[in-house]
Amino acid sequence: MEGLFKEGDILVTGRYAFDAFVGSDLEQVIEDNDIDGSEFK
């Protein structure tokens, strides 16, 4: 989807719905980018 993402955005892969994190690589993305829970508050 052209224009939806910009360079440097972190993308979660493995799922195709905005609310479907189960089965995705979200946990690995969070760990790889040193993101803690306070990022989501």
The predicted structure's pLDDT at residue 33: 87
Kindly tell me if the per-residue pLDDT of 26 is higher than 70: yes
Q: Residue 34: left (phi > 0), alpha (psi -120 to 50), or beta?
A: left
Query: What is this structure's pTM?
Result: 0.46
Domain range annotation of the chain: 1-41
The predicted structure's pLDDT at residue 29: 85
pLDDT digits (tens, 9 = 90+) for 29-41: 888 988 886 655 5
Rounded to an integer, what distance in angstroms lies between the CA atom of residue 10 and that of residue 27?
12
pLDDT band at 20 (very low <50, low <70, confident <90, very high): low
The predicted structure's pLDDT at residue 37: 65
The predicted structure's pLDDT at residue 2: 76
